[in-house]
Amino acid sequence: MNLPTHRARTGIFVSGAVISAAFLAACGQAPAVAPPPAAPAVAVSAGTAHRGDIQQTLTFSGEIRARQQISVLPKASGRVEQVLVDVGGQVKAGDTLVVLDQDTPQMQVLQARAALAQAQAHLTTLQAGPRDEDVATARAALAQQQTRLHSMRNGGRVEDVKIGESGLAAAQARLQSLLNGPDDGVRQAARSAVDADGDALASAQAAFAALGAQNAASLQSAQSQADTFQAQVESAQAQTDSAEAALASLAGSSAADLQAARSAFDAAAAQLATAQAALKQNDSPPQAAIAQAEAAVEAARGQRSAAQAQQTALEQKAAGACADLPGAPHNSTACGSARSAADAAVTAADAAVEAAQGQLDLLKRGGSPAQRTQLQAAADQAQAQVNAARARLDALGNGGVAAARAQAAADVQRARGQLVQAQANLKVAQANLNAIKSGSLDVQVKSAQAQVTAASERLKSDQARLDTVERGATDEDVRQAEAAVDQAQQGLLKARQPYTDDDLQQQEQAVAQAEAQLAKAENPFTEQDLGSAQAAVDQAQAQLDIAQLGLSETRVRAPVDGAIAERTVAPGALVSPQTALLTLIPPSLEVVVNAPESQLGQLAAGQPVQLELAAFPGEPFGAEVTSISPTLDSKSRTAAVHISPRDDAHRLRAGMFAQLNIVTAERHDALLVPLAALDTSNGQPRVATIDSANTVGLTGVQLGIQNDSFAEITSGIDDGQLIAMTGAGNLHDGQAVAPQLPGVALAR
Q: Is 158 exposed, middle or buried (0-12, 13-18, 19+ CB in 10 A)?
A: exposed
Count how many domains the chain has.
4
Residue 91 sits in the same domain as residue 224: no
Residue 118 sits in the same domain as residue 194: no
Residue 45 sits in the same domain as residue 117: no
Q: 545-563: per-residue pLDDT in tens? A: 999 999 999 999 999 888 8
The answer to whether residue 252 scores a pLDDT higher than 60 is no
Residue 559 sits in the same domain as residue 615: no
Q: Compute the distance between CA of residue 310 and CA of residue 278 in angstroms, rounded to an integer.
A: 45
The answer to whether residue 491 scores a pLDDT higher than 60 is yes
Q: Compute the distance between CA of residue 581 and CA of residue 77 in angstroms, rounded to an integer.
A: 12
Task: Choose one of 457, 472, 487: the last residue of a domain.
Answer: 472
> Does 619 reside within a domain?
yes
The answer to whether residue 610 scores a pLDDT higher than 70 is yes
Residue 530 sits in the same domain as residue 385: no
- C-alpha distance from residue 270 to each of 318, 385, 389 (Å): 66, 11, 12
Helix (H) or strand (E) segment spanning residue 204: helix 184-212
Residue 414 sits in the same domain as residue 468: yes
CATH of the domain at 120: 1.10.287
Helix (H) or strand (E) segment spanning residue 194: helix 184-212
CATH of the domain at 569: 2.40.50.100
Q: 648-667: per-residue pLDDT in tens? A: 888 888 888 999 999 888 88
> Does 240 reside within a domain?
yes
Who contacts 743 (Cβ-Cβ below 8 Å, separation ≥6)? Answer: none
Residue 672 sits in the same domain as residue 703: yes
Q: Compute the distance between CA of residue 388 and CA of residue 272 in angstroms, rounded to an integer.
A: 12
- C-alpha distance from residue 192 to each of 236, 239, 275, 466 (Å): 15, 14, 20, 9
> Does 312 reside within a domain?
no
Who contacts 729 (Cβ-Cβ below 8 Å, separation ≥6)? Answer: 3, 7, 8, 10, 11, 679, 681
Who contacts 701 (Cβ-Cβ below 8 Å, separation ≥6)? Answer: 673, 678, 685, 686, 687, 713, 714, 715, 716, 717
> Does 519 reside within a domain?
no
Share of the chain above pLDDT 70, in %: 80
> Does 63 reside within a domain?
yes
Residue 717 sits in the same domain as residue 602: yes
- C-alpha distance from residue 4 to each of 8, 681, 725 (Å): 7, 9, 15
Task: Choose one of 583, 601, 633: the last residue of a domain.
Answer: 583
Residue 126 DSSP SS3: helix
- C-alpha distance from residue 411 to each of 126, 405, 451 (Å): 78, 9, 25
> Does 503 reside within a domain?
no
Residue 115 sits in the same domain as residue 89: no
Region for 19 from its dihedrals, namely left if φ exceeds 0, alpha if ψ lies in -120 to 50, beta otherwise: alpha
Q: 517-547: per-residue pLDDT in tens? A: 888 888 888 888 889 999 999 999 999 999 9
Q: Is 572 exposed, middle or buried (0-12, 13-18, 19+ CB in 10 A)?
A: exposed
Contact assessment for residue 76 and residue 603, using Cβ atoms and an 8 Å cutoff: no
Q: 684-715: per-residue pLDDT in tens? A: 899 999 998 999 998 999 998 888 889 999 99
The answer to whether residue 160 scores a pLDDT higher than 60 is yes
If we measure between CA atoms, which residue out of 467, 457, 428 comes closest to residue 445?
428
At 578, the amino acid letter reads Q
Q: Is 587 exposed, middle or buried (0-12, 13-18, 19+ CB in 10 A)?
A: middle
Q: Compute the distance between CA of residue 612 and CA of residue 657 in angstroms, rounded to an integer.
A: 9
Q: Compute the distance between CA of residue 559 and CA of residue 703 in angstroms, rounded to an integer.
A: 52
> Does 205 reside within a domain?
yes
Biggest CA pair distance of the chain: 226
pLDDT at residue 306, as a whole number = 78
Position with higher pLDDT, 204 vs 165: 165
Residue 102 DSSP SS3: coil
Position with higher pLDDT, 653 vs 424: 653
Share of the chain above pLDDT 90, in %: 24
Contact assessment for residue 166 and residue 267, using Cβ atoms and an 8 Å cutoff: no
- Report phi then psi at 38, rounded to 5: -60, 140
Q: Is the pTM of this model over 0.85?
A: no
Q: Compute the distance between CA of residue 739 and CA of residue 324 in angstroms, rounded to an integer.
A: 102
Contact assessment for residue 498 and residue 156, using Cβ atoms and an 8 Å cutoff: yes
The answer to whether residue 717 scores a pLDDT higher than 50 is yes
Q: Compute the distance between CA of residue 47 and CA of residue 673 in angstroms, rounded to an integer.
A: 9
The answer to whether residue 740 scores a pLDDT higher than 70 is yes
Q: Is 617 exposed, middle or buried (0-12, 13-18, 19+ CB in 10 A)?
A: exposed
What angle in degrees, to the nearest 10, is found between the helix axes of 287-315 and 332-365? 160
Q: Compute the distance between CA of residue 107 and CA of residue 102 in angstroms, rounded to an integer.
A: 9
Residue 276 sits in the same domain as residue 418: yes
Average pLDDT value for the chain: 79
Residue 77 sits in the same domain as residue 196: no
The stretch 264-280 carries a mean pLDDT of: 79
Contact assessment for residue 338 and residue 320, using Cβ atoms and an 8 Å cutoff: yes
> Does 340 reside within a domain?
no
Q: 555-589: per-residue pLDDT in tens? A: 999 998 888 989 999 999 999 999 999 999 888 88
Query: Which range marks the domain in which residue 91 is found?
Result: 71-101+554-583
Residue 543 sits in the same domain as residue 638: no
